[in-house]
Structure 1
């Protein structure tokens, strides 16, 4: 077992890259709540599609600056001038479909709020029952999607969200700690178990 002062090694991923190590140790698999934080994770997972996650991590400060710190109310009001600005921003991933989807998702979130729901409630309502869960031994044991991620993707799409297929939804569930897929051998495994949202 590592001590608080000992260097962490043998991570599931990220060893050797300080940015990736910090993400692995402090974020991935830890519970995330709140509309801004969840909206950001969904947006970044969509932008990551087809790319390496480290690419998105390196660009995250630029993404936050470009998308008003992922304030969904602000992003929902983005217009054609904002789209042109984003397409010209070399600091982010300049993909028109993903940019349009992020703006559409902010508007969908606004509509979700108008219906009396929150993104926090929707995302966490799909947390799986992990009673008796056995941690994966290797990455081959980690699914790309699950029944819960398919259900989450379906519900989000019903609310008007885009770029939220079952694989992206599961990646977001991992990123937000709805599931904790740190491998059994990982020194971080079990440090912060998934928790239900506070009501």
Structure 2
């Protein structure tokens, strides 16, 4: 079993990853500014393998402290929809802190959740989707591009996870891992299924140094 740092643990895919990792028997350090207010099931709240870690991904002291004693990092940061209308820099700034901190701490395994349309998967967006995608998510995905580039240029054992359109609901285990550019396409996928893939990948590292798209 691994000791996993989940950054962005209080909501979305980060929260689902915390739940899935605990269910698999891993130790989890749940990193978030609102870690103390995380909403989890009663069983998960009492899990001795859960450590709530209230911290800021843009604070180098917080990041260095969070890396102590962990085996792998899951970066699952997000920004509120209302922030998409202005400049977005969280993904790249946080990654510019995290990568050298991991290298210094000797923590090699990083799984970063970005999204379909980030990096070279942008070319796989259908023509009818491109204009609305850029209007709504353009600033965020420009920053995710920078995030991915920084990770690719690191010495870490990274995996870039690019889920399609996220949905709620339980994990189904029925999803596709698209690992070649020719196969990349958009589609729906539950956040819990993304978490299922992430936790499985921590144990096997089959997609190390690769980018994958996940769809249901």
Which TM bucket (shorter chain)?
under 0.3
TM, length-normalised to structure 1: 0.27
Q: Which has the larger radius of gyration?
A: 1
TM-score, length of structure 2 as denominator length:
0.25
Greater RCO, 1 or 2 (C-alpha within 8 Å, sep 6+): 1
Structure number having the greater strand percentage = 2
Please state which structure has a larger fraction of its residues in helix. 1
